[in-house]
Structure 1
């Protein structure tokens, strides 16, 4: 990723992570996945396993830049002197996963219309489409307990997540996590498409669910249609090129 000049008060690895995360916020805004000043995408700071980056509370996704992201630790202390506050709900939810899951490098939580609609159904995500079939057997569910600002809910979030890395927060929204930001981005894109199709299919008629046998073959063969550069990498790079044609201020 082409880079604006690195800030002298941080490592090259942190600056690269900041730029990648800032780009992701701009991509989400471009795709219509933002929610005023709310929701969160976080990444761990490379080499600092107890620190992660989060959006400054009060700014829209279209205003996020590499420099104004806030660096906090898993106890909520601001580490970079940022003047911006952090959304308490974002900290409570994301810090519990960053604290307990070594492979949760990037965590994405959104309130898209389709994601919230599917999260509000008794069935959750149904295996009725190409995209939904990829998630069959891989989604955890967590019942709504109100806005996530109480630390004790973290224990139940971890318990309900189990060995999954995608979660439907019932009546609330979606949560995905991965070992890299591009992989998390692609997971969110796929989940969003699956939810959009389910909502549209329900309006069109009676959705037909795919068989377990077909789903197993589909999931087995998905790796055969990926480029060998890491999950989500070419997808994310394509979106970075797109937003760069519109506005490159996220790099600063």
Structure 2
């Protein structure tokens, strides 16, 4: 069942609040978006520039069209954020939600020549499902959108080389859980790298990683159960995101 605009606003605001709790924020930078329902001109919700993640409420989110016009709201947005998010929303009908982060672990792995390695069950989930996009500088150039689209392809996530992480999903729940585990995989790789001087890192073969990735596909419906649990946790702490 399609969610209403209010429900989408509350889900996206919740994602921002949870990201702050998890330490994913980068002061005023990075951004999450969700496409609004409707048959007309594509529009999406995104955070207004100037708000910290832990203060965003559903009513604060602004509506932007694919031409970069703010069609609802009294604030502006991060231009680089618009380039990245509009690129995905233009190309992927199934990517209703897009999450982009600059976490320490994500940026560290994005700086590694070989990217994400198959060294853990969590990283194996992304085997064959993670794209890579070459760094072109701060994403102010709208011409980069086509190259972002090509780099993402049909994958569930994208590693922005020398930059950060991006996840996509049919719902906020999907995109949030994908980002949670992609970031966790990066944290594991960062920790394993710190111990590599004591013991060599054991890797998972491509064949086995493919098998594990297929196993994860069979339980993707569980993301929504986990999302409900995240919302209950957030409600116990502070439910003002719904306003």
Same fold (TM over 0.5): yes
Native 8 Å contact 2:156 2:178 kept in 1: no
TM-score normalised by L of structure 2: 0.93
Moved more, 136-145 or 44-53: 44-53
Deviates most, 46-55 or 179-188: 46-55
Q: Which residue of 2 aligns with 1:69?
A: 61
**Runs of 4 or more above 3 Å deviation:** none
What residue in structure 1 maps to residue 143 of structure 2? 152
Q: Does 1:121 pair with 2:115?
A: no
SS state at 2:4 partner: helix
Question: Post-superposition shift, 1:221?
Answer: 2.5
Give the aligned partner of residue 189 of structure 1: 180
C-alpha contact (below 8 Å) 1:186/1:231 kept by paired residues = no
Aligned to 1:232, the other structure's residue is in SS state helix
Runs (5+) with no aligned partner, structure 2: none
> For residues 108-133 of structure 1, what are the alpha-carbon distances to aligned partners after superposition, in whole Å with 9 as ceiling and x for unaligned?
00000000000000010000001001
Please point out which of 84, 93, 103 is paired with 2:94.
103
Contact 1:184 1:232 in 2 (8 A): no
- Tell me the alpha carbon deviations over residues 173-217 of structure 1, each in whole angstroms, 9 at most, x when there is no partner: 001111111011110011011000000001112321101232233
CA RMSD of aligned residues (A): 1.5
Provide the rounded CA distance (Å) in 2 between the counterparts of 1:90 and 1:243: 25
Q: Provide the C-alpha distance between the structure 2 equivalents of 1:220 and 1:136, rounded to a whole number of angstroms.
A: 9
Residue 203 (structure 2) aligns with: 209
What's the CA shift string for 1:194-249, capped at 9, x where partnerless?
0000000011123211012322332233355x38xx35111111111111111111
Bigger CA drift: 193-202 or 210-219? 210-219
Count of residue correspondences:
237
Contact 1:116 1:172 in 2 (8 A): yes
Deviations 1:72-106 (A, max 9, x none): 111111122x2211111111111111112111100
SS of residue in 2 equivalent to 1:135: coil
Deviation at 1:66, TM superposition (A): 0.6
1:55 is aligned to 2:47: yes
